Chains A and B, each alone.
Chain A
Amino acid sequence: MTRRLSRETLIKWAPLLVLIALVIFFTALNPTFFSLRNFARIAIAAAPALMVAVGVTFIIVMGSIDLSMEGTVSMTAVSFAFIFAQLGGSLGGLGWVAIPLVLVLGGLIGVLNGLVHVKLKIPSFMASLAMGFVGTGAAILLTGGDIVKVSDAAFRGLLTVRWLGFPLMVYIAAFFLFAGWFIQTHTTLGRNFYAVGGGEDLAHASGLNVTRVRVTGFALAGVFYAIAAILVVARIGQAESVTGANFMFVSITSVVVGGVALWGGIGGVWNALVGVLIVNVIDNGMVVIGLPDFLQDGVLGLLVILAVVLSTDRKMVSFVK
């Protein structure tokens, strides 16, 4: 009994141990890795990806998958830039209104995503992927392929103003991470995600409106993608139809590396955080230790496999598909 318990504990903490091991490894090879300035750099790169990962965590916990993040991030980023400019282009003026509007837009895209999935009974994989393409297409339509600049100094303060060494955007991401944790542990909705992911038939038989939980989950994910979009614009000062590119790989990898099981019911936002940090620490660390660029992709792949091997309880899985 105790042996079983310790094994479970080990697996639960494995992603964090992997993260700590990576930090020690990179620091040993180049001590400048372990500095506040570098951690701030990693945090800046990780903040938007973390929001996407938290959003998709809810969906994966439900046992579904959401691949619409690239389109949704592009679409909401471009919409934000346009609305912000339309309302005066300054956070001091009416520009702030663009933020809640874009969060609502993200939620609506999520609702649509969820409805396509549950009403048309299309697997979430396909429904969300398709909706993602629609989002990217809409972003191209809006921009005509051009870049939309957001250079308001107050808004860019999210990147340029620091507090205890970290830019404000990092604190915003941390705040919404806690919001995600609160939803996950202290709301009925959060518990329902686990009920659906742990055993959908049982949840349904217990009188849970699974359809509504799923649609709400996708809406919530959409809101987090919109937060990610706003943070990306804060980070690079521009929005375009490829703003969301790469977020699918980074977020899904992070969530899985962090120990959220793709078959649902296991893991949560802290796993997403650790996973995003692992991926970003690897990205940053490989450059900082001077690993040749042609090795970087291969090493990233190997480390991802290693992290998943260490952090999932494969004894519980009878077969993998």
Chain B
Amino acid sequence: MSTFIKDFIERETVSRRNFLFAAAAGMGAAAMPGLLGSGNARAALTDPAIAWSYRDRASAYWNSVVSGGEAFVESLGRPKSALVSLINEGSTEKSLADIKAFLAKNNGNCAIACDANDSPNARPVVEAVQAAGAYISTIWNKTDDLHPWDFGDNYVSHMTWSDEKPAEETARILFEAMGGEGGVVHLGGIAANNPAVERLAGLKNALKDFPKIELLDAQPADWDTQKGAALMASFLTRYGDKIKGVHCANDNIAYGVIEALRAEGIENMPIVAYDGNPEAVQMVMDGQLLATVFTNPHWGGGISAALAYHAAIGTFKPSEEPKEHREFYGPTILVTAKDAAEFKAKYLDSVPAYDWKDFWGPSNGQIQYKA
């Protein structure tokens, strides 16, 4: 037998014995707080630490979400830095690990706002928060069978945006600009993302009322400008002059589409986008885009943190609220050429001051699930 294997077996034998000791000690320790009274039965927290768990700082969208969170903590008289950023960088594992670490560090005295990065991750995140006696509000990602009301007060709320209706509206604007006939292509988000699915579904709904419009192709451009440009170029090879209009799943893709068309010397192609980023709003004003949709991420970021915080300190009791206050749609505002200037002045040039205790004012009704 090689020494390596022998050493390995010896080490494993020893560590198994140690493990049994440690386990016995651990179970004793775990039982102690139970005997001394549960830590999870706290009715309300005092001065909880506030965190936002989100994807990254590299996009206008998440920056706007965080700016809302910061505006909220400032309204409490705390500095911006009182909002802790838990950046998951698109990793589900990091999302959950960071939240658990934050809970442990603050001993459960936390109010957390979170996008769980992917739908299945919302459940372990919420369960960890409940086990620690903390409070959480989520946005965007959760599975349909996960509901705040199944977790008492700790899972305060979930907000998402229904993109189907607004995407349908942008499609109608596009089709009318095309004169009600011709071919259209759709450049989508990452195929499995819920907003990508809904935005394409919206386009398809609008198609029913425009029989002379043909959807030539719909392919994912992964929310990305460069991918959008390359995909649009390939579409031009495949469909050429048949393309009379372009439906984009977000603003970033639309920027790429406009550049791909610019390279070919094609101007005045009707294009619609989504997200209402400042550059896109400017393009609507300049006539390069027909429409985009604003989802007010600043308000969403602030109100999610506010909901978790106020539930934590006992301003309201989530379990006594109706279901439409636990699961609801965020606001959507359609931006077109005729209202772009007004919109820009109201929402982009100066950020409106929101009442962070008006939790549900701008919201858009209870979330509906498709059977």
Residues of A within 8 A of B (CB): 30, 32-33, 35, 37-38, 41, 44-45, 136, 140, 144-147, 149, 156, 159-160, 167, 232, 235-238, 240-243, 245-246, 283-284, 287-288, 290, 293-294
Residues of B within 8 A of A290 (CB): 217, 238
Measured in the bound complex, the distance between the Cα atoms of B181 and A54 in whole Å is: 46
Q: Is the CB of B233 within 8 A of A236?
A: no
Q: Is the CB of A288 within 8 A of B63?
A: no
Would you give 25 A-B contacts (Cβ < 8 Å), ordered by A?
A32-B240, A35-B237, A41-B233, A41-B263, A44-B263, A45-B229, A140-B57, A140-B58, A147-B277, A159-B262, A235-B229, A236-B226, A237-B259, A238-B279, A242-B58, A243-B226, A284-B233, A287-B234, A287-B235, A288-B234, A288-B237, A288-B238, A293-B219, A293-B220, A294-B191
Q: Is the CB of A37 within 8 A of B237?
A: yes
With A32-B240, A44-B263, A284-B230 known to touch, is A238 a contact of B60 (CB < 8 Å)? no
Measured in the bound complex, the distance between the Cα atoms of B228 and A242 in whole Å is: 14
Q: How far does the Cβ of B292 sit from chain A's closest Cβ, in whole Å?
A: 14
In the complex formed, the residue of A with least CB distance to B264 is: A37
B214 contacts the other chain (CB 8 A):
no
B265 contacts the other chain (CB 8 A):
yes
Q: How far does the Cβ of B290 sit from chain A's closest Cβ, in whole Å?
A: 19
In the complex formed, the residue of B with least CB distance to A143 is: B58
Measured in the bound complex, the distance between the Cα atoms of B263 and A32 in whole Å is: 18
Partner of A41 from the list B234, B255, B259 (CB cut-off 8 Å) is B234
Q: Is the CB of B225 within 8 A of A236?
A: yes
B118 contacts the other chain (CB 8 A):
no
With A145-B59, A236-B226, A287-B219 known to touch, is A159 a contact of B234 (CB < 8 Å)? no
19 more CB-based (< 8 A) A-B contacts, given A37-B236, A41-B260: A32-B240, A37-B237, A37-B264, A136-B58, A140-B57, A145-B60, A147-B277, A159-B259, A235-B259, A236-B225, A236-B229, A236-B255, A236-B259, A242-B224, A245-B224, A284-B234, A288-B237, A293-B191, A294-B191
Q: Is the CB of B226 within 8 A of A147?
A: no
B68 contacts the other chain (CB 8 A):
no
Residues of A within 8 A of B279 (CB): 147, 149, 238
Q: Is the CB of B238 within 8 A of A30?
A: yes
Residues of B within 8 A of A167 (CB): 263
- Closest 3 pairs (CB-CB, A-B): A287-B234, A41-B233, A145-B63
Residues of B within 8 A of A33 (CB): 237
With A45-B229, A284-B230, A293-B220 known to touch, is A240 a contact of B58 (CB < 8 Å)? yes
Q: Is the CB of A287 within 8 A of B238?
A: yes
B343 contacts the other chain (CB 8 A):
no
Q: How far does the Cβ of A110 sit from chain B's closest Cβ, in whole Å?
A: 23
Residues of B within 8 A of A45 (CB): 229-230, 233
Q: How far does the Cβ of A293 sit from chain B's closest Cβ, in whole Å?
A: 5
In the complex formed, the residue of B with least CB distance to A38 is: B237
Q: Which B residues between 187 and 239 are near A, CB-CB below 8 angstroms?
A: 191, 217, 219-220, 224-227, 229-231, 233-238
Measured in the bound complex, the distance between the Cα atoms of B264 and A290 in whole Å is: 21
Q: Is the CB of B58 within 8 A of A241?
A: yes
Q: How far does the Cβ of B119 sit from chain A's closest Cβ, in whole Å?
A: 19
Residues of A within 8 A of B234 (CB): 41, 283-284, 287-288
Measured in the bound complex, the distance between the Cα atoms of B160 and A73 in whole Å is: 34
Measured in the bound complex, the distance between the Cα atoms of B88 and A209 in whole Å is: 42
Q: How far does the Cβ of B22 sit from chain A's closest Cβ, in whole Å?
A: 34
In the complex formed, the residue of B with least CB distance to A242 is: B58
In the complex formed, the residue of B with least CB distance to A33 is: B237
Task: Assign chain B's interface to a size class.
Answer: 20 to 34
Q: How far does the Cβ of B115 sit from chain A's closest Cβ, in whole Å?
A: 16
Q: How far does the Cβ of A150 sit from chain B's closest Cβ, in whole Å?
A: 11
In the complex formed, the residue of B with least CB distance to A290 is: B238
Residues of A within 8 A of B225 (CB): 236, 238
Q: How far does the Cβ of B120 sit from chain A's closest Cβ, in whole Å?
A: 20
B256 contacts the other chain (CB 8 A):
yes
Q: Which B residues between 249 and 294 are near A, CB-CB below 8 angstroms?
A: 255-256, 259-260, 262-265, 277, 279
In the complex formed, the residue of B with least CB distance to A156 is: B262
Measured in the bound complex, the distance between the Cα atoms of B278 and A145 in whole Å is: 12
The winner among B63, B259, B264, B277 for most chain A CB atoms within 10 A is B259
Measured in the bound complex, the distance between the Cα atoms of B239 and A32 in whole Å is: 9
B62 contacts the other chain (CB 8 A):
yes
Measured in the bound complex, the distance between the Cα atoms of B188 and A293 in whole Å is: 11
Partner of B265 from the list A160, A246, A284 (CB cut-off 8 Å) is A160
Measured in the bound complex, the distance between the Cα atoms of B63 and A221 in whole Å is: 32
The winner among A33, A237, A246 for most chain B CB atoms within 10 A is A237
Q: Is the CB of A238 within 8 A of B255?
A: yes
Measured in the bound complex, the distance between the Cα atoms of B237 and A41 in whole Å is: 9
Q: How far does the Cβ of A244 sit from chain B's closest Cβ, in whole Å?
A: 10
Residues of A within 8 A of B58 (CB): 136, 140, 145, 240-242
In the complex formed, the residue of A with least CB distance to B232 is: A41
Measured in the bound complex, the distance between the Cα atoms of B230 and A144 in whole Å is: 26
Q: How far does the Cβ of A70 sit from chain B's closest Cβ, in whole Å?
A: 11
Measured in the bound complex, the distance between the Cα atoms of B79 and A263 in whole Å is: 53
Q: Is the CB of B219 within 8 A of A236?
A: no
Measured in the bound complex, the distance between the Cα atoms of B255 and A147 in whole Å is: 11
Residues of B within 8 A of A236 (CB): 225-226, 229, 255-256, 259
Q: How far does the Cβ of B224 sit from chain A's closest Cβ, in whole Å?
A: 7
Measured in the bound complex, the distance between the Cα atoms of B262 and A235 in whole Å is: 10
Residues of A within 8 A of B255 (CB): 147, 236-238
Measured in the bound complex, the distance between the Cα atoms of B185 and A293 in whole Å is: 14
In the complex formed, the residue of A with least CB distance to B256 is: A236
Q: How far does the Cβ of A221 sit from chain B's closest Cβ, in whole Å?
A: 21
Q: Is the CB of A232 within 8 A of B226?
A: yes
In the complex formed, the residue of A with least CB distance to B237 is: A38
Partner of B63 from the list A32, A144, A235, A237 (CB cut-off 8 Å) is A144
Measured in the bound complex, the distance between the Cα atoms of B58 and A240 in whole Å is: 8
Residues of A within 8 A of B235 (CB): 287
Q: Is the CB of B237 within 8 A of A246?
A: no
With A44-B263, A160-B263 known to touch, is A246 a contact of B238 (CB < 8 Å)? no
Q: Is the CB of A283 within 8 A of B230?
A: yes
In the complex formed, the residue of A with least CB distance to B227 is: A246
Q: How far does the Cβ of A83 sit from chain B's closest Cβ, in whole Å?
A: 20
Residues of B within 8 A of A287 (CB): 217, 219, 231, 234-235, 237-238
